Homo-oligomer: A and B are copies of this chain.
Amino acid sequence: MSARAGIVVTGTEVLSGIIPDANGPWLAGELRERGVQLAHVVIVGDRPDDVRAALEFLGRERVDLAITSGGLGPTADDLTADVVAEFAGREMVLDEALEGRIWDIVAPMRSRWPDADEGAMRAGASKQARVPRGATVLEPVGTAPGLVVPPAEGAEGPTVLVLPGPPRELRPMWAAGVETRAVRRALAGAGRYEQRIMRLYGIPEAELAATLRDLEAQGVPMADLEITTCLRRGEIEVATVFEPAAADEYATFEAGIRSRHGDTLFATDGETIDEIVRDLLLGGDGAPTFTIATAESCTGGLMAARLTDLAGSSAYVAGGVVAYANDAKVAMAGVPAELIARHGAVSPQVADALAAGARSRFGADVGVGITGVAGPGGGTPEKPVGTVCLTVDGVDGTEAREARTVHLAGDRADIRERTTVVAMHMLRRVLLAVR
C-alpha cells in the first residue's frame, strides 16, 4: 500500500483504561476502505511530552497522515492542538470568528445547565478557538473544532488531522477532514484495496492454520493475499486484504476454505451471525417473517438485548422474559415448578420449558430458552460455573428445534456473552432447517 497512516489517541482516561477507545478501531476501518495502510495506533496520556513523542514516532515511521483523537476539550489538560502546532512548527493564534461560532453553540446550552457559570463557559470557548496558524479548521459537531495541520513550509513530516474524542463528533468531522485538500494530498498515493471476511464457527484455530499450510503446499496461489486469522469469542475470522487484480486469487482461496470447512463456514462476505439470524427471521422474497421471543436466566437480558441491537428488529422480536428468580420462571415463563424441583433450575428440561414458555407467552414462532451458571458463585460438582443449557424451539408444523448443554470457559461476563454466541448459532441452524 502506498499511503501510510498512524493514529494517536490521547487521553489519560483512555490510556489508564477507564474509557475504552472507540476511535482507533473505527478510524482503522475508514482508512482500510480508502486503501490507506494503518501502521500504528499509539495511545498516550495527557502529558505533552508523551503526545509529542508519539507524533515524532509516527514521523520517523514515515506515515503520510497522522490522526489524533481527543484532547480538544475546554479544560486546561486538553492540549493536543498546542502539541500538534509545535510538532508541525506552527504558532498558536486565536481565531476570533471561530470563537464566535463556538460561543453560538455553547450559549444555548446554558438553559440545560442553569447553574453553570457563564465566565467559565466563555473561557472554554476561547481556549477551543486557539488554532495553529495556517491550519484548516473543521467546524465543530459538538463544541470542539477539528484541525488539519500540514507541516510548516519547507519542513518534512506528516500532515496531522486533529479530531475530538467523542465518537459522535469525531466521525462526521473525519468525513469532513478527509475531503480537505491537505489530507487528500497526503493520501494521494493510496491504492484501492478490497477486504473480505470469512467467519467459521465450531473448529479450532490450529485446524484452520493447517488448512492454510495445506493450500499453500498444494500450490494454491496466495502470494497477493494478506490473510489474518483470529479467534473471537468462539468464532474464527479470516480477514483478507488484496488489490483488485488479485480477485481471482481470492476466489480460489475462498473456494478452498469452503470445500474443506463448508460445514463450519457461516459467512463469506463479512456478515455477522447477528445479521444472518436477522435476515433468516425477516424472510423477504416471499418467505415469511418469523417472530422470536426469549426466556433467559443467566444471560439476564443479554440475549434479548443482542436480538434488538439491530435497527428494525421490532419487525421480528416479540419480546422476552428475564426469568432470573425461580418464581419468575414459573410465573412469567410457565416453567412447571416441579420441573425445577426435580431437575434443578439449570437443566435441559428447564431450558426446554423456558423456550416453550417464551413462544407461547409472546405468541412467537421461535422461542429461545437459556439457563445456566454464570458464576462466580452457584457452581456445583455436577453443574460447575460455565454450564449452560440452551433450547431453540422452532416453528409450528416443523421439527426444527435444537437443544444443547455447553460448558463455557471464562469469567461471568465471558460466560454470559459466549452463551449468546452459542444461542445465535443454534438459531441460525434451526432457521436454516425451517426455510
Contact = CB atoms under 8 A, between A and B. Distances in A.
A332 B112 CA distance: 36
Nearest to A298: B308
Interface stretch (A12-20, A130-138, A277-285, A424-432): A12-20
B38 A16 contact: yes
Contacts of A312: 377
B325 A319 contact: yes
A45 interface: yes
Interface string A115-156: 111011101100000000000000000000000000000000
- Oligomer: number of copies: 2
Contacts of A53: 39-40, 57, 61
A412 to B, nearest CB: 6
A320 B319 contact: no
A305 B304 CA distance: 9
**Binding site secondary structure of chain A:** mixed
Nearest to A120: B210
Contacts of A362: 325, 327-328, 331-332
Nearest to A412: B311
A81 B307 CA distance: 40
Nearest to A420: B305
Interface string A397-410: 00000000000011
B332 A210 contact: no
Nearest to A264: B115
A8 B20 CA distance: 16
B409 A168 contact: yes
A232 B19 CA distance: 7
Contacts of A29: 16-17
Contact of A13 (B109, B228, B306, B327): B228
A50 B54 CA distance: 14
Contacts of A61: 53
A354 to B, nearest CB: 12
Contacts of A320: 301, 321-322, 324
Given A53-B40, A319-B321, A361-B332, A19 B299 contact: no
Interface in A325-342: 325, 327-328, 331-332
A41 B13 contact: no
A71 B428 CA distance: 31
Contact of A317 (B197, B231, B237, B300): B300
Interface string A365-406: 000000000011110000000000000000000000000000
Contacts of A25: 16-18, 20
A46 to B, nearest CB: 6
Given A12-B228, A213-B120, A206 B311 contact: no
B116 A207 contact: yes
Given A301-B304, A361-B331, A362-B328, A204 B239 contact: no
Given A46-B228, A319-B325, 9 more contacts: A13-B232, A16-B239, A17-B28, A41-B43, A106-B206, A119-B210, A300-B309, A301-B320, A319-B321
